[in-house]
Structure 1
């Protein structure tokens, strides 16, 4: 063979094709090599057609490789997509511009786009593709994905056949797949997704297991499409069987000599004679396992063996224990923390190298690291150590952004406009410290604040916090200006129990309103200095300090401003609050808050200044009432004229009581949008009134009450709150419904 000739190539070099061939110039042309040459050229991936030809020449034989190149993709376009944007589909589009056309990739993209539409409820959507040659650029094509979305298909009805002993309503509550309704456009309910529905069938079975129906059978459901192809009707047939109770409970296998069977049984919620419950049984296995884990048996396995008695409708349970070897922790590895220092994570751990493995310690460690709020996920896994009696723990974290720069502008009919700016870092330089600078300006207040917080000052169990502030607040009857700061040192006595002692100094000026008969209140519009010591104690078991959904925090403080500290205002202030968080199914969270405050006059010749007293009302107190509008009041003249009319002037109370109840639920979880329903109650009381006292017999329990709803958006600039409060004990000056907006969390 005297020549290898390449024909039809435009972008691919001929030499690249020759190198792929097994046949070479100067070698005899063997038919056995031809098939290998064809596969080799085709495998280059650049051609949509390849031919191998032989041409006889006077000097010998020419081997001709004739190719037709695949076109280059110029543009990738979507056509017909109205409900889903290109951004919604970007993860599904595998075809990229300026690459060689691959039809397998095109077909894969068609399938993925169609699957995305099915996930979003467009069950009948059709997706095809077109290849459009580009006349001005020979060898190039535009790939167009043509989408016929059709109408969104909604689950109209879910019917259970045979569900008699467990209500269909209860079964539907366990399902992700829901019947659509009027608000489906906002909530997304009514969307049919096959993978979610497959999970639902399993959960329905578990719902029966939790009620003792151990022989329940859930048949393959029927899914029917309506004639107009807009609705889906689902029918699920259930064979319930009989409910079973728990018979005997026993333990066998590797039992611990210092732990009796009665002790382990006491740790369980399952009891003989009670209804069999699968979920409760799983929790009981965890409780029994912890007995072994906390003694170093990291590989303990608890296997419940069941013996079903059909005659008595009971299930006997025997917990077979295989304890495995007792192990110590050889090493703890921390991974995934590119910014956060190792010690910030390690100081939260409650398991230690060289000590026996502890299951409770591992669980508490994970909870404490998660509660820092620095990480999206925290996982603690284990693997064998260098010896049989050792184990290695790996703490794997996924960091999230902890620094924020926020600028916001809002409006409300209470404060008119609200401008806020904040720069903060909750994990400063990865040391676990928090620093922030913020400013707020509205129609009723202005605030500048600088703060610093170190939870482990100088790597000890002491914390240090410092704050500087300048505040101006309009109380309608007077304006309070203050400049000051405080510093606190705290100590963590035990896990989550923190005591602090702090000192604050604040310079306060009070300006009376222009149109008041200020003679009667002259001794209350006082300016001066507050110099105070504060002792506080808090017990914080929230799962996340920034956005809690489980746990509690209890707080109490005593602030004293005696004369020997050099202040003008002399008082004691007592404050306490308790906040509880309860996670509910489907991402719902129920929250409660109770706050009580009392300020005590220390010198009878120096009355409490009006600027230190309590005013209730507003978006961070009792919603539905104007900011600081709930207060004891006195009658004052509108002017200095002897015949001036009188008006009520809010003078503040020396006691306050506030209750808040919230049900928070997801709306668009991925976008960080949640809804809230709330009920508030509270009041501020004068010195001659008692808590819960009502002088006018118009306030149930002596409290102002309100209810309402709102939306919360955990936006890139911070948490935004939009809430509508309805005063239930409305006064003439109160609106029927009050909208308020603010930036930041409530509790």
Structure 2
């Protein structure tokens, strides 16, 4: 290009020496693109010379409407006069664009041929890097001049913007990372308008990824638009990761928490997060002053070894917990409420005294709740202060107790369903008012829930309870008023069941205590949940109340998640009665999804073999009546004889209310006694040598209010049973046996459980014949008095053989605590006591006692017990010592 203007040549020379793209080339968006519209040549038969200036002004207006920066007519004319321009061509148009600080110039002509108007124009790029673009528009009649100008402006705009589009984005220089690591993080996309500011932003964003030492951008012009190339220089590849200085924490544990892995590109941002995670691991172990850094070992710029550098420092324990401001309440009692604790003698083993920072806020809230539950309504506990010293950690809680309020009285207002006396029976704060006891906020919450539940039992599902507390600050008392709003009574519109893929709907519905059309009851809803849980068919049971368009109707949605109810198990174990034994079982507790229970079980040991085939339908034809059958075969070797039995039962059950059930069955058994030691055996056994028949009826009443089928935490189980054999129903065995069994479960803090169990039994003759010794009572072993061998607690005959008691009593006290919630593992300690008495003996105040501990696992194969008991009393002049026993089966 030949420069006719010295200033233009100088400008182009400077741009060339700098090696930069002129700003005009970098602009892409319309508002950043400047244009100069030059005069148009008019070729017409009529006198249309005035259009030489008017036509460019019309074009300027249309281009401004499209967002372009267009130089004004005055500036354009001034530039033409200044440069003494007499005619226009490509070279002059380009020079004028540069002098006008514009990226483009537009010039052309208007020609009239007959009635047609031809508008011809050229778009000239200022730097000359692009070829000029011609345009032409043809319209009929001068009246269409404005549409012609508008069409010309559209074409110019399309051309300028198309030239500034990004046609392609490339990544170069990367050897380890894929192109997508860059491309997926770019906000710019192919087809977007080219914008240098946006490019700079993308460069910064790529730097912030942390993977690159250098990022540069190259832009190339193509026929399709701008080709943008990101030239990157990667940080080195991590060939290996090492840990230096770590002793207290295993190196593998440190590497496991790191996101940086071997084979990855070094990223300082990720490494900084990794160092933070490592410091947190050390803090959780008590190393609060641990320092963690890193270094790189490089022999090749493209590869590096990453070393994590650790200075562990000393392990710090909580040496002192201070509660400042506690005046009325004892600081020792307050410390008992904390999850954090001071260092103890065995902290190195138990972890006691290690600071868990996430518990600081929890403990502050626990102290505040402890105060509010003891009448300190204004008590505040500040943010705990933690001080790290060379000796250890000191934690300080700052307490403002405030005044202590007692309950002056309790009242009820609003929609009262019953008298205030009956409402007061649902609350506890009224008892505190009678005793002038301190106000307890936890009791207040329980009262609100109790009153709400009371109203829901009458169908008021949306009942609300507001509380008004009037304080007498002079007397330090508070009067509590419960304002009750029953709102509308609600009925169940529909009960729907979701999530059951195997269990049939009717099996679930018969456990529900609410059905379509019933008045809503909170107690019935909770009871339905418990009954479904106790089926033990489901991992999860959730009964949701769903409002409908009618506020007096609601839907119940029973959502269940089924679990496996079939069991195929085999195992081996040891017990004091059977020594080593093998067992196997096939059982299905929800056969065909109908709630049937069917099982086949076999047990084999040196002294006993037993086969059982059992079936039970808890709801015969969906009625309350349950029915089933049991067939068994048993061989048993006693000390002085063997017994082989084959028999069966027909059994039934029927509910007597919500928690009580009546059971009865008839048993018919044929048994043979042989291998009798005539010198040792009881006379009654000698008389039964050979084949015998046992015919017995059994009846029991069982009341069960526990919350779970396995491992209940609250409730009671009481069973009274009687078995009648011989007499009117025939058979060779004549006896009547009575047994009363009771269990009590009480939940304790931290998911601990107290369990008390007791059983008393008595068997008596039903004829002149003695009660067979195998129907009498023997104690010892897993199911009664642990720590003593099975059947060892029994009256003896003259030769010292156990002959069984006519009366029996034993009791168990157990304290259970979770070892692993995920595995269903429970630990326990226990105290047992019991004894049996012959027909002519009576209770003398002495019982055989035992203590011990054990583990219970509620496994997928059923409950397993491993327990060690130590007998505290002598049998036959010898101490029992300790007994470790294992069993699989139901717990008492």
| Distance in 1 of aligned mates of 2:633 and 2:368 | 60
| Distance in 1 of aligned mates of 2:295 and 2:792 | 66
Counterpart position of 2:705: 541
Counterpart position of 2:880: 735
| Distance in 2 of aligned mates of 1:7 and 1:182 | 63
Q: Name the SS of the counterpart of 1:616 in structure 2.
A: coil
| Distance in 2 of aligned mates of 1:77 and 1:743 | 49
Residues 248-327 of structure 1: matches in 2 within 5 Å?
Answer: 248-253=409-414, 255-256=415-416, 258-271=417-430, 272-274=433-435, 275=437, 276-327=439-490
Q: Structure 2 length as normaliser, TM-score?
A: 0.70
Residue 74 of structure 1: CA displacement? 9.5
Residues 405 and 478 of structure 2 are in contact (CA less than 8 Å); yes or no, is this contact kept in structure 1? yes
Residue 667 of structure 1: CA displacement? 3.7
Q: Relative to structure 2, which stretch is displaced further, 616-625 or 427-436?
A: 427-436
Residues 207-218 of structure 1: matches in 2 within 5 Å?
Answer: 207-218=370-381
Residue 310 of structure 1: CA displacement? 1.9
Residues 130-178 of structure 1, C-alpha deviations (whole Å, 9 max, x = no match): 899999xx99999998888777654454344454543444334433334
Q: Name the SS of the counterpart of 2:686 in structure 1.
A: coil
Does the C-alpha gap of structure 1 residues 476 and 354 become closer, same or farther in structure 2, counting only changes over 3 Å? same
Counterpart position of 1:687: 839
Residues 368-517 of structure 1: matches in 2 within 5 Å?
Answer: 368-411=531-574, 416-511=579-674, 516-517=679-680
The answer to whether the aligner puts 1:66 opposite 2:231 as a matched pair is yes
Residue 660 of structure 1: CA displacement? 1.1
Q: Name the SS of the counterpart of 1:622 in structure 2.
A: coil
Does the C-alpha gap of structure 1 residues 34 and 431 become closer, same or farther in structure 2, counting only changes over 3 Å? same
Does the C-alpha gap of structure 1 residues 176 and 481 become closer, same or farther in structure 2, counting only changes over 3 Å? farther
Residues 642 and 676 of structure 2 are in contact (CA less than 8 Å); yes or no, is this contact kept in structure 1? yes
Residue 202 of structure 1: CA displacement? 1.6
Residue 245 of structure 1: CA displacement? 1.7
Counterpart position of 2:777: 614
Q: Name the SS of the counterpart of 1:523 in structure 2.
A: helix
The answer to whether the aligner puts 1:243 opposite 2:383 as a matched pair is no
Residue 649 of structure 1: CA displacement? 0.8
Which ranges in structure 2 are unaligned for 5 or more consecutive residues? Answer: 1-162
Residue 198 of structure 1: CA displacement? 1.9
Residue 584 of structure 1: CA displacement? 0.9
Counterpart position of 2:757: 593
Residue 343 of structure 1: CA displacement? 3.5
Residues 12-411 of structure 1: matches in 2 within 5 Å?
Answer: 12=178, 31=196, 34-35=199-200, 50-54=215-219, 63-68=228-233, 111=276, 115=280, 118=283, 153-163=316-326, 165-181=328-344, 189-227=352-390, 231-253=392-414, 255-256=415-416, 258-271=417-430, 272-274=433-435, 275=437, 276-411=439-574
Does the C-alpha gap of structure 1 residues 180 and 59 become closer, same or farther in structure 2, counting only changes over 3 Å? closer
Q: Name the SS of the counterpart of 1:590 in structure 2.
A: strand
Residues 524 and 608 of structure 1 are in contact (CA less than 8 Å); yes or no, is this contact kept in structure 2? no
| Distance in 2 of aligned mates of 1:24 and 1:522 | 100
Does the C-alpha gap of structure 1 residues 615 and 134 become closer, same or farther in structure 2, counting only changes over 3 Å? farther
Q: Name the SS of the counterpart of 1:650 in structure 2.
A: coil
Residues 570 and 603 of structure 1 are in contact (CA less than 8 Å); yes or no, is this contact kept in structure 2? yes
Q: Name the SS of the counterpart of 1:676 in structure 2.
A: strand
Give the length in aligned residue pairs.
Answer: 719
Residue 6 of structure 1: CA displacement? 4.8
| Distance in 2 of aligned mates of 1:442 and 1:670 | 33
Q: Relative to structure 2, which stretch is displaced further, 116-125 or 558-567?
A: 116-125
Which ranges in structure 1 are unaligned for 5 or more consecutive residues? Answer: 637-647, 695-700
Q: Structure 1 length as normaliser, TM-score?
A: 0.82
Q: Which of 720, 738, 745 lines up with 1:581 in the alignment?
A: 745
Does the C-alpha gap of structure 1 residues 13 and 87 become closer, same or farther in structure 2, counting only changes over 3 Å? closer
| Distance in 2 of aligned mates of 1:14 and 1:673 | 49
Q: Name the SS of the counterpart of 1:285 in structure 2.
A: helix
Residues 319-368 of structure 1, C-alpha deviations (whole Å, 9 max, x = no match): 12233332222233434445544433332222223222212222222222
Does the C-alpha gap of structure 1 residues 61 and 743 become closer, same or farther in structure 2, counting only changes over 3 Å? closer
Counterpart position of 1:704: 848
Residues 727 and 767 of structure 2 are in contact (CA less than 8 Å); yes or no, is this contact kept in structure 1? no
Residue 509 of structure 1: CA displacement? 3.3
Residue 385 of structure 1: CA displacement? 0.9
| Distance in 1 of aligned mates of 2:761 and 2:603 | 25
Residues 173 and 233 of structure 2 are in contact (CA less than 8 Å); yes or no, is this contact kept in structure 1? yes
Q: Name the SS of the counterpart of 1:174 in structure 2.
A: coil
| Distance in 2 of aligned mates of 1:134 and 1:419 | 65
| Distance in 2 of aligned mates of 1:505 and 1:77 | 75
Does the C-alpha gap of structure 1 residues 612 and 146 become closer, same or farther in structure 2, counting only changes over 3 Å? farther
Counterpart position of 1:641: none
Counterpart position of 2:131: none
Residues 525 and 609 of structure 1 are in contact (CA less than 8 Å); yes or no, is this contact kept in structure 2? no
Residue 306 of structure 1: CA displacement? 0.8
Residues 410-462 of structure 1, C-alpha deviations (whole Å, 9 max, x = no match): 45677543444444343445443333343434455444333333333332222
Q: Name the SS of the counterpart of 2:879 in structure 1.
A: coil
Residues 641 and 681 of structure 2 are in contact (CA less than 8 Å); yes or no, is this contact kept in structure 1? no
Residues 225-262 of structure 1, C-alpha deviations (whole Å, 9 max, x = no match): 4525xx54434343434432211322223x13x52223
Residues 210 and 269 of structure 2 are in contact (CA less than 8 Å); yes or no, is this contact kept in structure 1? no
| Distance in 1 of aligned mates of 2:702 and 2:463 | 37
Does the C-alpha gap of structure 1 residues 533 and 415 become closer, same or farther in structure 2, counting only changes over 3 Å? closer
Does the C-alpha gap of structure 1 residues 601 and 284 become closer, same or farther in structure 2, counting only changes over 3 Å? same
Q: Name the SS of the counterpart of 1:719 in structure 2.
A: strand
Residues 265-321 of structure 1, C-alpha deviations (whole Å, 9 max, x = no match): 232222234312222222221222223212222222112111111222211111122
Residues 450-508 of structure 1, C-alpha deviations (whole Å, 9 max, x = no match): 33333333322222333333334444344444333323111123212111221223333
Counterpart position of 1:569: 733
The answer to whether the aligner puts 1:677 opposite 2:829 as a matched pair is yes
Residue 547 of structure 1: CA displacement? 1.0
Does the C-alpha gap of structure 1 residues 161 and 449 become closer, same or farther in structure 2, counting only changes over 3 Å? farther
Report the aligned-residue RMSD.
4.4
Residue 200 of structure 1: CA displacement? 2.4
| Distance in 2 of aligned mates of 1:149 and 1:297 | 62
| Distance in 1 of aligned mates of 2:302 and 2:337 | 56
Q: Which of 542, 549, 557 lines up with 2:721 in the alignment?
A: 557
Does the C-alpha gap of structure 1 residues 404 and 81 become closer, same or farther in structure 2, counting only changes over 3 Å? farther
Residue 551 of structure 1: CA displacement? 0.3
More helix by share: 2
Q: Name the SS of the counterpart of 1:528 in structure 2.
A: strand
| Distance in 2 of aligned mates of 1:720 and 1:434 | 20
| Distance in 1 of aligned mates of 2:498 and 2:774 | 51
| Distance in 1 of aligned mates of 2:659 and 2:236 | 65
Residues 726 and 732 of structure 2 are in contact (CA less than 8 Å); yes or no, is this contact kept in structure 1? no
Q: Which of 805, 808, 814 lines up with 1:656 in the alignment?
A: 808
Q: Name the SS of the counterpart of 1:608 in structure 2.
A: coil
Residue 13 of structure 1: CA displacement? 6.5
Q: Name the SS of the counterpart of 1:302 in structure 2.
A: strand
Q: Name the SS of the counterpart of 2:797 in structure 1.
A: strand
Q: Relative to structure 2, which stretch is displaced further, 594-603 or 102-111?
A: 102-111
Q: Name the SS of the counterpart of 1:633 in structure 2.
A: coil
| Distance in 2 of aligned mates of 1:464 and 1:512 | 38
Q: Relative to structure 2, which stretch is displaced further, 625-634 or 411-420?
A: 411-420
Q: Relative to structure 2, which stretch is displaced further, 316-325 or 120-129?
A: 120-129
